[in-house]
Amino acid sequence: MITGQSPLTASRPAPQPFTAPGTHRQLLDQGAGALPCDDPALNGLLDAEVRFQQQNLAMVAYASLAHPSVLAAAGSALSNVTAEGYPGARYHPGARFFDEVERLAAQRAAALFGARHANVQPHSCSSANLSVLFALMRPGDTLLGLDLDAGGHLTHGAPASVTGRYFRAVRYGLGSDGRIDPDEVAALARRHRPTVIVAGASAYPRTWDYGAFRAVADEVGAWLLADISHVAGLVATGLHPNPVDTAHVTTTSTYKQLGGPRGGLILLGAAADERAGADSGTPLAERIRRGVFPRTQGTPNAAAIAAKARALGLAAGPEFTALARRIRTDARVLADALTARGHRLVSGGTDNHMVLLDLTAAGVSGADAERALEECGILANRNRVPGDTRPPLVTSGLRLGTNILAQRGLGPAEMHTCADLVDTVVRGLGGRGGRDGLDPALALRVRAAVRELCDRFPVPQYPAAR
Ligand code: DSN
């Protein structure tokens, strides 16, 4: 059994700290105080990063901002703890506080997503996916996932990833409407008999029908892995279907939409005790537990796990639910505002936090748009669109997201301003043939508008940029 809600029993008293409260804070204060004098070069870069995050508008889909208390937990003395294994069954001494921290994180993860078990050790969702795939598959087995070019993730079977090299990867794509076609998934599954089917994406603005995927998985005898990295905050707050009991295994990153540290989670629901496949004597939960440690990871990152616990605690509160609603509303308004300005969106809109802009008609590449927007203080990344003829490092699309905009408090009114700014930059580039960059006067005007917006909506709890 992997660590989850149940092992944190009321009968086990938490170990008492043997130092005065505030010791952790003193340690962090000491470190933060020493850095400017002892290592001004590094400290200057870290200061500059905080200013950069305050003064630039991150309209990205792949990140959220961590609360300062999450950062404080990530920088804790737990960083000094080496403890392979799981709470109560470590291969090193000195882990009694880390054991409790890991149990707390797993309990919070399980409670937030309604899971029976949560493994909080993966260093990222990529690691989580590798752990799951290597727990359930043998080299040469077939993996069915969304094509990278259609919005899938490297670890879902892309040729450049170990998942595309050790497994026989088969990929589904998007229909002409920019949506996943369940009939195509079913047809591929019947033809190729995958061991694992992945339902998840890095760039898909629509709702996942996990029930349809599970029906296909059951028909062909496959495991269903749901990777919810991009929509985990919406899932946790009931704004997107929760796959935990529908899929056999669910994975997520903790930084994309949960405001957590770099890291991943593996969640198990109704299927936790299932025994099937090549290793059919072992329950799924135990296979996944071993799939993380010792199969694909050694020592867990104890401080990152503490930061996960903090972020998961924050995500369980009412403010996070309000934030998730704002994220989704903002994305819808942004999508409509861009459409109203004549832009084409992949799938015609959005159900989540993500808006995929197809720049083909504008005659602008994703790379040129990304560069020009960054020059103006807006972060948004290039992205392939269906039927893209440009190379992957160039692309014909732009991926926008509202996680950080909503965290800063930008609402529907400001989404019209954001759409105006993106539209101005894209049209400005298109008017100059795309490749010559922006007219400097136009860039200055957009930069000033971005700065005004950032000053009006500072990152909450982060120091003001000076
Ligand atoms: N998965 C990558 C993305 O969505 O851009 C980053 O973690």
Is residue 465 in some structural domain? no
**Same-domain check for residues 363 and 268:** no
**Same-domain check for residues 180 and 261:** yes
161 CA from centroid of ligand 1 (Å): 14
**Same-domain check for residues 181 and 274:** yes
Tell which atom from ligand 1 comes closest to the C-alpha of 253.
7
Tell which atom from ligand 1 comes closest to the C-alpha of 154.
1
Please tell me the predicted confidence (pLDDT) of residue 205: 98
**Same-domain check for residues 270 and 139:** yes
Tell which atom from ligand 1 comes closest to the C-alpha of 153.
1
230 CA from centroid of ligand 1 (Å): 8
Encoded tokens for 73:
């937990």
Is residue 46 in some structural domain? no
Q: 315, 346, 379: which is the final residue of a domain? A: 315
Domain span at 114: 78-315
For a substitution probing ligand 1, which of 202, 227, 354 has the most ligand atoms within 8 Å of its CB? 202
Q: What are the CA-CA distances from residue 366 to residues 104, 303, 384, 394, 429 (Å)?
A: 42, 37, 8, 6, 11
Residue found by looking up tokens 């995050």 in the block: 53
DSSP per position, 357-424: EE-TTTT--HHHHHHHHHHTTEE-EEE--TT--S-TTT-SEEEEE-HHHHHTT--HHHHHHHHHHHHH
**Same-domain check for residues 386 and 349:** yes
Q: Are 136 and 223 in contact (CB under 8 A)?
A: yes
Total count of domains within the chain: 2
Tell which atom from ligand 1 comes closest to the C-alpha of 124.
7
Entry pTM: 0.94
Tell which atom from ligand 1 comes closest to the C-alpha of 61.
4
Tell which atom from ligand 1 comes closest to the C-alpha of 255.
7
256 CA from centroid of ligand 1 (Å): 8
383 CA from centroid of ligand 1 (Å): 11
DSSP state of 145: E
Which residues are registered as beta bridge partners of 145? 171
**Same-domain check for residues 184 and 302:** yes
Is residue 15 in some structural domain? no
Q: Are 400 and 355 in contact (CB under 8 A)?
A: yes
- The maximal CA–CA distance of the chain, rounded, in angstroms, is 70
DSSP per position, 11-68: TSPPPPPSS-TTHHHHHHHHHHHHHHHH-HHHHHHHHHHHHHHHHSEE--SS--PPPH
Please tell me the predicted confidence (pLDDT) of residue 434: 67
**Same-domain check for residues 95 and 171:** yes
- Which residue, 176, 193, 91, 96, is CA-closest to 141? 193
**Same-domain check for residues 138 and 255:** yes
249 CA from centroid of ligand 1 (Å): 20
405 CA from centroid of ligand 1 (Å): 18
**Same-domain check for residues 156 and 305:** yes
Is residue 285 in some structural domain? yes
For a substitution probing ligand 1, which of 126, 251, 253, 256 has the most ligand atoms within 8 Å of its CB? 256
**Same-domain check for residues 277 and 340:** no
356 CA from centroid of ligand 1 (Å): 14
Q: 315, 350, 369: which is the final residue of a domain? A: 315
**Which residues approach ligand 1 with their CB closer than 6 A?**
62, 153, 202
Is residue 74 classed as helix, strand or coil in its secondary structure?
helix
6 CA from centroid of ligand 1 (Å): 32
Is residue 39 in some structural domain? no
Is residue 466 in some structural domain? no
How many helical (H) and strand (E) elements, i.e. helices and strands, does the chain have?
16, 15
Tell which atom from ligand 1 comes closest to the C-alpha of 256.
7
Read off the CATH number of the domain in which 113 is found: 3.40.640.10
Encoded tokens for 312:
């998961």
Q: 294, 315, 336: which is the final residue of a domain? A: 315
Tell which atom from ligand 1 comes closest to the C-alpha of 202.
4
403 CA from centroid of ligand 1 (Å): 14
Residue type at 332 in one-letter notation: R
Q: Whose CA is nearest to atom 1 of ligand 1?
A: 202
Encoded tokens for 182:
């369940």
53 CA from centroid of ligand 1 (Å): 18
Please tell me the predicted confidence (pLDDT) of residue 276: 79
Conformation bin of residue 22: beta by default, left when phi > 0, alpha when psi is -120 to 50 = left
**Sequential pLDDT tens for the chain (466 residues):** 344 333 223 344 555 555 566 899 999 999 999 999 999 999 999 999 999 999 999 999 999 999 999 999 999 999 999 999 999 999 999 999 999 999 999 999 999 999 999 999 999 999 999 999 999 999 999 999 999 989 999 999 999 999 999 999 999 999 989 999 999 999 999 999 999 999 999 999 999 999 999 999 999 999 999 999 999 999 999 999 999 999 999 999 999 999 999 999 999 999 999 987 666 789 999 999 999 999 999 999 999 999 999 999 999 999 999 999 999 999 999 999 999 999 999 999 999 999 999 999 999 999 999 999 999 999 999 999 988 999 999 999 999 999 999 999 999 999 999 999 999 999 999 887 766 789 999 999 999 999 999 999 999 999 987 6
Q: Which residue blocks in 222-351 are alpha helix, DSSP H? A: 232-236, 284-290, 302-315, 318-340
Is residue 30 in some structural domain? no
Residue type at 100 in one-letter notation: E
**Same-domain check for residues 305 and 348:** no
Read off the CATH number of the domain in which 330 is found: 3.90.1150.10
Encoded tokens for 98:
């880390």
Q: Are 323 and 233 in contact (CB under 8 A)?
A: yes
Q: Pairing mode, if any, of strands 142-146 and 168-172?
A: parallel
Q: Whose CA is nearest to atom 5 of ligand 1?
A: 62
Q: Whose CA is nearest to atom 7 of ligand 1?
A: 62
CA–CA separation, 29 vs 33, rounded Å?
6
Is residue 221 in some structural domain? yes
**Same-domain check for residues 261 and 397:** no
